[in-house]
Amino acid sequence: MEKNVTGMDELLAGYAAGTLSYPAQALVGAHLELSGQNRSYVSSLETLAGSGLESCEPVALSDRETALSAIFETDAADLNDNLPGAPLTRAAGMQTSGVPGSLQAIVGDTLENLPWKTLLPGVKECKFEEIDGCNSSLLWVRAGRAMPSHTHHGTELTLVLKGGFRDEDGHYVAGDLAYADGDVDHKPVADEGEDCICFAVTAGRLQLTGPVGRWFAPFMR
């Protein structure tokens, strides 16, 4: 699947530690729902993190009663700093709509009636609000169509929900997660025979490369 092993390992370690941005955390969670490829690795990381906590020496808590009172008076949702500020609901599991449970707080529980906009011929996009400094969107690419060549000023995470695509790093199908950064300059092409739908999270600016990409750049801002 992915060739950027170091970046992927860091991403999965961040998921296990709960340190990713909310959209990235949701994307990796959806990947683990759809694919068994990295489940055992993430489970091992979580077990290792738990073992580390158990081996730590306890530290005395100053003003224990005040601290406990503050915790019990706090709304449970506020204790999770990985959730976005706006109240969002999440349904569990994979629905017939094709939206994994981990993404439903961002995407909703169906791909129908979303505000899709034409980005390029054969390519539609549905953008969601920025959370934790990251942009997230759904991309719908017609079968056989290619995205413009591009690289990244930051990172791009792409989870395939339906269909598949190829680029210079490999072939990705439903459940696969692609990791790209500034070292990657690629041109994803959707598989023939079925449209490709992906959920993408980007941190930083995308830069189109090549003559075709530079021509389309003004339309993609």
Which pLDDT does position 120 carry in this prediction? 84
Q: Give the percent of the chain with pLDDT over 90.
A: 47
Question: pLDDT-based confidence at 220, cuts 50/70/90?
Answer: very low
Which has the higher per-residue pLDDT, 28 or 47? 28
* pLDDT surpassing 80 at residue 76: no
DSSP state letter for 87: -
Which pLDDT does position 152 carry in this prediction? 60
Which pLDDT does position 219 carry in this prediction? 43
Tokens 């994307």 found at: 27
Domain limits for position 178: 1-221
Mean pLDDT across 133-161: 87
Q: What CATH number does residue 50 fall under?
A: 2.60.120.10
Q: Please choose, from the candidates 105, 100, 115, the residue with its C-alpha nearest in 3D space to the C-alpha of residue 198.
A: 100
* Mean pLDDT of the residues in the chain: 77
Question: Which tens digits make up the pLDDT trace of 48-62?
Answer: 876 554 555 555 555
Question: pLDDT-based confidence at 38, cuts 50/70/90?
Answer: very high
Question: Which tens digits make up the pLDDT trace of 85-137?
Answer: 333 333 333 444 679 999 999 999 998 889 999 988 899 999 999 999 999 99
Which has the higher per-residue pLDDT, 177 or 219? 177
* pLDDT surpassing 60 at residue 63: no
Which pLDDT does position 44 carry in this prediction? 92
Is the pTM higher than 0.85? The answer reads no
Q: Give the percent of the chain with pLDDT over 70.
A: 65
Helix (H, G, I), strand (E, B) or coil at 212: helix
* pLDDT surpassing 80 at residue 181: no
Q: What angle do CA 38, 172, 22 make, to 5 degrees?
A: 55
Which pLDDT does position 48 carry in this prediction? 82
Q: Give the chain's domain count.
A: 1
Which pLDDT does position 99 carry in this prediction? 93
Question: pLDDT-based confidence at 173, cuts 50/70/90?
Answer: very high
Q: What angle do CA 152, 154, 157 make, to 5 degrees?
A: 80
Cβ atoms of residues 84 and 22 within 8 Å: yes
* pLDDT surpassing 80 at residue 66: no
Mean pLDDT across 52-74: 53
Q: What number of other Cβ atoms are within 10 A of residue 129's Cβ?
A: 10
Which pLDDT does position 3 carry in this prediction? 52
Q: What are phi and psi of 169, to 5 degrees?
A: -95, -15
